[in-house]
């Protein structure tokens, strides 16, 4: 019954507190005992400190958001998935956060890049879908320019120029200058 309620939540990664909320358990000691029993029975797996998955088919972007909060998946991960860069970044999940850090979990690297809080918390160009938060390809482009200034993109044919220019409002002036160059050469 507990397992069915976790599956019906549509989440693939759980914090201990979320398991308590879904199962309506307020007693933290009882919750820990229950989760330990579920782990022993093989119903859930602790993938990282305080983070649990139901099976090996969990969403890596959802995990990236749960490892560090606030954060959103961006940079090379989003750009590769959208065909803006061609170098394969499938072994690394890159995300924006309030500090830089690298985690290695379950054979995958989760790399967080620090960006200023006023940029990180601005919702412009951020997609919230199901249980994950990630940058639009335009936001990922501005994040890359913010981080690396003169980054070379492989394919800018499918970008929304208006959104790209609008996004520069939340970044320092050098990002706007680079975006203007990109938009004028395309």
The pLDDT value recorded for residue 1 is: 58
C-beta of residue 131 within 8 angstroms of C-beta of residue 10: yes
Residues in the chain, pLDDT under 70 = 1, 186
SS in 3 state form for the chain?
CHHHHHHHCCCCEEEHHHHHHHCCCCCHHHHHHHHHHHHHCCCCEEEECCEEECCCCCCHHHHHHHHCCCEEECHHHHHHHCCCCCCCCCCEEEEEECCCEEEEECCEEEEEEECCHHHHCCCCCEEEECCEEEECHHHHHHHHHHHHCCCCCCCCCCCCHHHHHHHHHHCCHHHHHHHHHHHHHC
Radius of gyration of the chain (CA): 19
The confidence score (pLDDT) of residue 6 equals 86
Instruction: Express each pLDDT in 91-104 by its tens digit.
Output: 999 999 999 999 99
Query: What's the length of the chain?
Result: 186
**Percent of the chain with pLDDT strictly greater than 90:** 83
- Provide the residue ranges of all domains of the chain, joining segments of one domain with +: 2-53, 60-185
pTM of the model: 0.90
Relative to beta strand 71-73, strand 51-53 is: unpaired
**Which residue is associated with the tokens 């998955």?**
53
Q: Tens of pLDDT along 8-36?
A: 888 999 999 999 999 999 999 999 999 99
């Amino acid at each position: 019954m507990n397992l069915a309620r976790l599956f019906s939540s549509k989440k693939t990664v759980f914090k201990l507190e979320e398991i308590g909320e879904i199962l309506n358990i307020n007693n933290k000691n009882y919750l820990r005992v229950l989760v330990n029993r579920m782990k022993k029975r093989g119903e859930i797996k602790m993938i990282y400190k305080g983070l649990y998955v139901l099976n090996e088919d969990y969403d890596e972007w959802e995990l990236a958001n749960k490892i560090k909060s606030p954060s959103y998946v961006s940079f090379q991960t989003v750009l590769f998935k959208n065909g803006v860069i061609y170098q394969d970044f499938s072994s690394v999940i890159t995300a924006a956060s309030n500090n830089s850090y690298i985690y290695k979990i379950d054979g995958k690297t989760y790399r967080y890049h620090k960006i200023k809080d006023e940029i990180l918390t601005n919702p412009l160009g951020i997609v919230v879908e199901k249980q994950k938060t990630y940058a639009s390809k335009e936001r990922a482009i501005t994040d890359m320019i913010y981080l690396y200034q003169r980054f070379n993109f492989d394919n800018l044919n499918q970008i929304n120029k208006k959104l790209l220019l609008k996004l520069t409002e939340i970044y320092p002036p050098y990002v706007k200058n680079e975006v203007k160059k990109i938009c004028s050469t395309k």
